[in-house]
Amino acid sequence: MSVLRRFIAGATCPECGALDKIVRVQDGDSLWMECVACDMRKDLDAEPAPAPAPPEGGEGGGGSPVVWKSGK
């Protein structure tokens, strides 16, 4: 299988801040992104970090969503 590279339009490199330099690379079952400006590479196969648990108690907006009404 060949390596597939695709530029991600509008993406900014998290390391150097360059715009439109991020490439999504797939080689078989491996998936990563890299910056062609600074050679940053990030593995996209890794599991994402778990989301933080909501705070317990009355804070944190754990009820109904806020509905804004206009004064008209």
pLDDT in tens, 8-31: 999 999 999 999 999 999 999 899
The pTM for the full model equals 0.60
Question: Do 14 and 41 contact (CB within 8 A), yes or no?
Answer: no
Helix residue spans in 1-72 (DSSP H): none
Structure tokens at 1: 């299988």
Give residue 60's pLDDT band: very low, low, confident or very high (50, 70, 90).
Answer: low
Give residue 48's pLDDT band: very low, low, confident or very high (50, 70, 90).
Answer: confident
Q: Which residues of 33-60 are buried (b: 16+ CB within 10 A; e: fewer)?
A: bbbeeeebeeeeeeeeeeeeeeeeeeee
